[in-house]
DNA sequence: CAAGATTGACACTTCAATCTTG
DNA sequence: CAAGATTGAAGTGTCAATCTTG
């Protein structure tokens, strides 16, 4: 491992340490929401009511929408977890906390009695609407505002390559 | 916020989600250590016995070593926390868990009775020695191996710019 | 009082085990 | 039995309060 490689890894780890904390801090201070709260709110709305492609503010699992997702109006917990790249357990617990705060509701799914659908409550929708500009401003301040457009393009490419992972890199071999 | 900016943010958030999980998984499977375990072991050794400059495998807080660090042979908890960019509380709890597993020991500091020094136990040293090659291999697989040298250089620059943050970007204005 | 460090309460996350329905 | 989802136990992390020593 060359010094350059070590340096890159350390730089990545450091940014991961500080950048998320800054945005989470802005969000928490401005709205009382945590990042996981915001991610779930945004993902539920996006799945229930698909936006223009490419306009997700939240992390997107490399796996596309799952086969049986039945994305229209019926947001299954597993579909949501898969789309977000979260474990079911993680999402289940997060939904529990958010249900206590009345930001989401779980209603029994009519098409499959084994589980529930997730819905935004009115309070959840309001919280999301209020949080979006805060997140956008914070990302602008701490992320996009710190980089040139060229750097943003390069970073996107780099992140995509890393996300793809070693398995999917067989042939292209660098 | 342009589509390009949103895309970059989403790509970053996704990579943060999957990359750390992959390395943590390799480390856990190969050694039974968690990433925080490894980070603390490596940071304690690095502070107690400073290595060649630039060869930190663990995240490095932008703040340099603190004034009263007394880095030689006497690793104060606060100095360790500052150097790692961790809160004292976080480090205190992590040290508690690692002390239970006998990877570190807290001994009362002779020069200042208010606190303890942290030391690696023999088991801790062995664990660190065993873990280092595992981490290096994993980073090679999931990180450096996925990128060209040019990309690694660009990424380092980008991360450094992000870490610096908006406060320290006053004059250079882009 | 100020600094070093820990603790209580709570939020977040994972793994394996569990319960329920198809 | 297989899939959807939750839960128990333990690790991880934060904030504010606390305790102790300088």
Q: In the beta sheet, which residues pair with residue B106?
A: B118
- Kindly state the percentage of chain A with pLDDT values over 70: 82
Q: What number is the average pLDDT over the span B50-68? A: 54
Which residues fall inside 7 Å of strand C, measured at CB?
A 34, 36-37, 86-87, 89-90, 93-94, 97, 112-114; B 21, 25, 68, 76-79, 88-89, 91-93, 95-96, 106, 109, 112, 114-117
A107 touches strand D (CB under 7 A): no
Position A89 scores a pLDDT of 97
Nucleotide with minimal C1' distance from the CA of B98 is: D11
Q: What is the pLDDT of residues A91-146, one digit of tens each?
A: 999 999 999 999 999 999 888 889 899 999 999 999 999 999 999 999 999 999 99
Residues B59 and B85: beta-carbon distance below 8 Å: yes
Give the chain B residue nearest A86 (alpha carbons): B17
Distance CA B140, CA B144 (A): 5
Distance CA A103, CA A46 (A): 15
Residue B70 pLDDT > 50, yes or no?
no
Q: Of B17, B32, B47, give the one whose Cα is nearest residue B117.
A: B47
Which residue has better confidence, A122 or B65? Answer: A122
The maximal CA–CA distance of chain A, rounded, in angstroms, is 58
Listed as ranges, the nucleotides of chain C within 7 A of a protein C-beta are 3-8, 11-17, 20-22
Q: What is the pTM of this model?
A: 0.86
Position B69 scores a pLDDT of 44
Q: What is the pLDDT of residues B11-20, one digit of tens each?
A: 999 999 999 9
Query: What is the DSSP code (8-state) at residue B78?
Result: H
Residue A170 pLDDT > 70, yes or no?
no
Residue B100 pLDDT > 50, yes or no?
yes
Q: Report the range out of A1-5, A61-65, B33-37 with the highest average pLDDT.
A: B33-37
Residue B83 pLDDT > 60, yes or no?
yes
CA atoms within 13 A on the CB side of B61: 14
How close does chain A come to B112, measured CA to CA in Å? 30
Position A59 scores a pLDDT of 60
Residue A69 pLDDT > 50, yes or no?
no
Distance CA A58, CA A61 (A): 10
Beta carbons within 8 Å of B158's beta carbon, 6+ residues apart: A147, A151, A154, A155
Position B172 scores a pLDDT of 52
Distance CA B122, CA B172 (A): 48
Name the protein residue, with chain letter, whose CA is nearest the C1' of D7.
A89
Q: What number is the average pLDDT over the span B103-132? A: 93
Q: Å between B99 CA and D17 C1'? A: 24
pLDDT level of residue B110 (50, 70, 90 thresholds): confident
């Amino acid at each position: 491992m060359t010094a350059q490689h070590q340096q890159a890894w350390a730089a990545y780890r450091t940014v991961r340490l500080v950048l998320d904390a800054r945005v989470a801090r802005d969000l928490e201070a401005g709205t009382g929401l945590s990042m996981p709260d915001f991610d779930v709110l945004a993902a539920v709305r996006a799945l229930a009511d698909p936006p223009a492609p490419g306009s997700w503010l939240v992390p997107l699992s490399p796996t596309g929408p799952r086969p049986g997702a039945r994305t229209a109006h019926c947001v299954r917990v597993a579909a949501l977890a898969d789309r977000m790249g979260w474990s079911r357990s993680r999402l289940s617990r997060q939904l529990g906390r958010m249900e206590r705060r009345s930001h989401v509701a779980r209603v029994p799914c009519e098409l499959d009695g084994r589980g529930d659908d997730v819905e935004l409550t009115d309070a959840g929708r309001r919280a999301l609407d209020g949080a979006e500009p805060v997140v956008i401003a914070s990302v602008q301040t701490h992320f996009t505002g710190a980089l040139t457009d060229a750097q943003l393009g390069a970073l996107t490419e780099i992140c995509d390559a890393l996300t793809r992972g070693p398995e999917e890199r067989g042939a292209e071999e660098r």
